Amino acid sequence: MEALTRPLGKLGRATAEALGGMGYAAMLLYESLYLSAFGWRIGQPLRLRAVLEQMRQIGVDALPIVCLLAFTVGIMLGIQFVSALGEFGAQSQVVIAVAKSVTREFGALITAILVAGRSGSALAARIGSMTVSQEVDALAVIGIDPVRYLVAPALIAMLIMLPLLTVFADAVAIYGAALYSAPALDITPSAYMLQTMSLLDPGDIGQGIAKSAVFALLITLIGVSTGFSVVGGAEGVGRATTRAVVLSICWIIVADMIFSYFLNR
Amino acid sequence: MNTPAPLIEVEKLEAWYGKRRILNGVDFTVHPGEIRVIMGGSGSGKSTLLRHMLGLNRPVSGSVRLFGTDLATASDREKLEVRKRIGVSFQGGALLTSMTVGDNVALPLREHTNLDEQTIRIMSRIKLEVVNLGGFQDLMPSQLSGGMIKRAALARAVVMDPRLLFFDEPSAGLDPVVSAELDELILRLRDALRMTIVVVTHELDSAFKIADTITVLDQGNVLMTGTTAEVRAADNERIQDLLNRRPREVHVDADEYLQRLVGETE
C-alpha cells in the first residue's frame, strides 16, 4: 500500500508546490503592476532611474551577444532553407521562409532564451542573495517595498527591452541569412532585404513581439519568485539561479508552442 | 504625573513555525526613552519576536503595536509612517552590497524625503561621523570589517532620526573591544538623540551594561521583565541558569524518545 501512496503523496506535494509558486508569481505580478501605476499614492513611487538602469542591463548590455547569436541563427536558417528548398526546385521561396520563421518564431525564441540565461538568472541570484543576507528585510523595515524596489523596475524594463531586442534580432538574423543566401539566389544582399520587407506582414513581426512580451513576463516572474524563495545560504542561491534558468526556458518553449498553435491555425 | 503612552505594546503574541510553537502568549510594553534588552538563550524566540515587532512576520494570534499602530492590520500608508519613525540594525548589518556605504546611509533619505542631493550627502556623512566612520562613504560594504559594517548599518538606521531603534544581536561576531565600543555608542545615541532602544541579544555583559530594563525570554515565554537589578535578584531557576551560564538539564523519557525517532517513518 505504501509503495502506492508514497509516490502519490510526492506528486500531490509537488503539485501543491507548483500551484503555490504560480500563485506567488501572480501576486508579484499584480503588486508590481499596481505599484508601478499607483505606488506614488502610498509613498512607493516607481523610480525612472531604476527602470533605466534595468533597461541598460537587460537590453543594451545584451546587444552584442544577441547580435552574434541572431546573425549565426540567420546564416544557419539560410543554409538549411537554400539546401532543403533547393531539393524541390523551390529556392525562390527561401526569402519568405527565412523571413516568416525568423519573425514569427526564432527571433523571439532565441532572444528570450538568451535573456533568460543572462538576466533571469541575474535577477534570481541578486534577489536570492539579498534575501539570504537580510537585505530584503532591511528594505522592508526602511519603508521601501521590496516588490516596488526590486521587481517592478525589472518587470517594466523587461517588457520594454525584450520586444525591442526581438525586433533587433529579427533584423540581424535576416541580414545573416541574406549574406549567405543572396549569392545562391543570384541577387544582392540589399535586394534580398528589400524582398524580405515586401513579403513580410506587420502581423508576422507583431506575432514575435507579442510572444516576446509574454516571455518577458515569464522570465521576470520566474527569476524574482525563485529569488525571494531562496533558503539555505549561498548554496540555496546557486540552486535558485539554476532553477530560474531551467524553469524559464521550459516555460518559454511551452508558451511558444501554445502561441504558435493558436496564431497559425 | 501621567505616564507617557508606550511605544511598543506586545499582547498575547503567538508564533508558530509549522507545528512548532515559537512564541507562547508574549506580553510586554516598552516606554519612551527606555533601553529595553530582550534576552534569552538560543531558540528562546528572540529573533522571531523581533521579526514580529518589525512587522516582517504576521502574528498567528495576539498583536504588536508600534506607536499605537498594529502593523498586521495597518494600511500601506500607516505602515510607511511607522517605518519612517523606526530604525533597525540587523545582526549582519544587511547593507545593500551593490551600493557604497554612503549610498546605503543615504537610501532612506532619498526614498522618503524631498531633500536636495547636497543636503542628503551632508546628513549621511554626519551620521557616519557619529558612528566613527567619517571618510568611509565611498567604500563598498565588502571592503569593511564586521564591526564597521555594524556601525555603517547603525548610521543608516539613525539617518532619519527615528524615535525607536532596534538592534539584533549587536555584539555577535565582534571582538570584546569593538563590542564594548558599540555598547557605548548605543548609550550615547539614547542620551544624545533621546531614542527608545530595543536590543535583542544573548550577550549577558552587553545586556547588563546598556539595559534600563530587561525582558527575559525562554522557550517562547516571558519569564520576567524588570530592571537589571531585579533580573539579577530573580529567584527563577531558568533566569539564574541563564545568568550563571548553566546548561539546561535535559530529561529524556526513553519511550517518548523512541516514539519520536520512529514516529515519522511509521
Dump pLDDT digits (tens) for A202-212: 999 999 999 99
- Nearest Cβ partner for B54 among A42, A129, A141: A141
The answer on pLDDT for A258 being more than 60 is yes
A43: which chain B residues are within 8 Å (Cβ-Cβ)? Answer: 76-77, 80, 112
Residue B20, phi then psi, degrees to nearest 5: -100, 125
The three cell numbers of residue A129 are 542573495
A213 vs A164: CA distance, rounded Å: 10
Where in chain A are the domains?
A: 21-263
pLDDT (mean) for A195-199: 93
A42: which chain B residues are within 8 Å (Cβ-Cβ)? Answer: 75-77, 80
Q: 3-state DSSP call for residue B70?
A: strand
Report the residue of chain A nearest B54, measured CA to CA: A141
Write out pLDDT tens, residues A223-244.
999 999 998 888 899 999 999 9
- Nearest Cβ partner for A142 among B76, B91, B107: B107
pLDDT (mean) for B34-53: 91
How far apart, in Å, are the Cα atoms of B74 and each of B5, B27, B28, B169, B253?
19, 20, 20, 28, 46
Mutate which of A46, A141, A145, A231 to test chain B, going by most B C-beta atoms within 10 A? Answer: A141
Strand B196-201 relative to strand B35-39: parallel, antiparallel, unpaired? parallel
- Nearest Cβ partner for A43 among B77, B94, B98: B77
**Yes or no: domain B8-85+162-263 corresponds to CATH 3.40.50.300:** yes
How far apart, in Å, are the Cα atoms of A41 and each of A35, A36, B256?
9, 11, 57
Where in chain B are the domains?
A: 8-85+162-263
> Contact A137/B108, CB-based, under 8 Å?
no
Instruction: Judge whether A15 is closer than 8 Å to chain B, CB to CB.
Output: no
How far apart, in Å, are the Cα atoms of A91 and each of A97, A99, A182, A204, B95?
10, 14, 11, 21, 61
Going by the DSSP 8-state scheme, the letter that residue A147 receives in this structure is I
- Is the alpha carbon torsion for A15, A21, A27, A33 positive or negative? negative
B210, B34 in Cβ contact below 8 A?
no
A173 vs A73: CA distance, rounded Å: 6
pLDDT of residue B264: 55
pLDDT of residue B266: 46
Q: Which of A239, A242, A234, A47 is nearest to A131 (CA)?
A: A234
pLDDT of residue B2: 66
Going by the DSSP 8-state scheme, the letter that residue B54 receives in this structure is T
B91: which chain A residues are within 8 Å (Cβ-Cβ)? Answer: 134
Going by the DSSP 8-state scheme, the letter that residue A91 receives in this structure is G
Chain B residues whose C-beta sits inside 8 Å of any chain A C-beta: 51, 54-56, 75-77, 79-80, 83-84, 86, 88, 90-92, 94-98, 107-108, 111-112, 156
A246 vs A226: CA distance, rounded Å: 11
**A110 burial level (CB within 10 Å; 0-12, 13-18, 19+):** buried
Helices (H), chain B: 46-53, 76-83, 101-112, 117-130, 146-158, 176-193, 204-210, 228-232, 237-243, 254-263
What's the distance, CA A155 to chain centroid? 11
Cα-based torsion angle of the residue sequence A212, A217, A218, A224 in order, rounded to the nearest 10 degrees? 140
Q: 3-state DSSP call for residue B69?
A: strand
Helix (H) or strand (E) holding A150: none
A33 vs A126: CA distance, rounded Å: 21
The confidence band for B97, taking pLDDT boundaries of 50, 70 and 90, is: very high
B88: which chain A residues are within 8 Å (Cβ-Cβ)? Answer: 138, 141-142
Write out pLDDT tens, residues B130-162.
888 999 999 999 999 988 999 999 999 999 999
A144: which chain B residues are within 8 Å (Cβ-Cβ)? Answer: 107, 111
Interface ipTM = 0.86
Amino acid letter for position A162: L
Q: Which of A138, A145, A149, A168 is nearest to A63 (CA)?
A: A168
For chain A, the average pLDDT equals 93
Candidate from A107-121, A125-139, B17-31 with smallest mean pLDDT: B17-31
